[in-house]
Structure 1
């Protein structure tokens, strides 16, 4: 039986590489770095023009969703609205939230995301994710 995480990564990577060309989009990133919860606390070194794809488990039916709380947009820019892919059609099923960032300038960005209820600011997040991204020219 294939590993679900690897299949999902391959699907998103293929989508990332095929759609812009098919839709007449911008140039393809030189390298695409894929991060997930296992990469929390890590440092990634990239070059301008590379992309970072962050994939995190989420279940929006609980009210908890991933949101960006810190990032240096001069270094790492969110390329589009985060995408959500449910694991199944079952009511209340969880899935994966995917953020795609482009390295747009040299420098360091500490990308921090929280999984929290958006209206409940006094409540601690259910989870956090942080990755340091160092971008060179």
Structure 2
């Protein structure tokens, strides 16, 4: 009786593990760039891969990094990270991080500019470009 109980438990466990996906969790490739690093003439990525861009930013100056136009092939996430300090410091800068996940095949230009949003006629203080082909 005891053996039957253990055998049936083992069958249940094996049956449940068979229900899981047969493909292991894939860690997609991440392409890291900073303001000091230029993107290649044409960066080739696959669907699911991520392009990560980081640049210094201080929102208290009014200047911020932003996309020139919305992207069609990528899912975009933006975050602002401030260094941890014991006491908050007024006007402290940090780092702006953009994460672009390739969602579908095609070719697209990522254009980021460092501007004040209300100064539409002024040239950006800095710019970063990356032409990407997603397959």
TM-score by length of 2: 0.70
Larger Rg: 2
Q: Residues 1-137 of structure 1 correspond to what in structure 2 (within 5 A)?
A: 30-42=28-40, 43-70=42-69, 72-73=71-72, 75-78=73-76, 80=77, 82-87=78-83, 89-136=88-135
| Structure 1: distance between partners of 2:38 and 2:69 | 14
| Structure 2: distance between partners of 1:59 and 1:28 | 36
Tell me the matched-pair count: 107
> Which digits, 9 at most, give the CA deviation of each residue in 1:31-76, with x for residues without a partner?
1111111233433221011111111111111000011013541x22
> Which digits, 9 at most, give the CA deviation of each residue in 1:5-53, with x for residues without a partner?
xxxxxxxxxxxxxxxxxxxxxx765111111112334332210111111
Unaligned 5+ residue runs, structure 1?
A: 1-26
CA contact (8 A) 2:82 2:95 kept: yes
TM-score by length of 1: 0.69
| Structure 2: distance between partners of 1:71 and 1:32 | 21
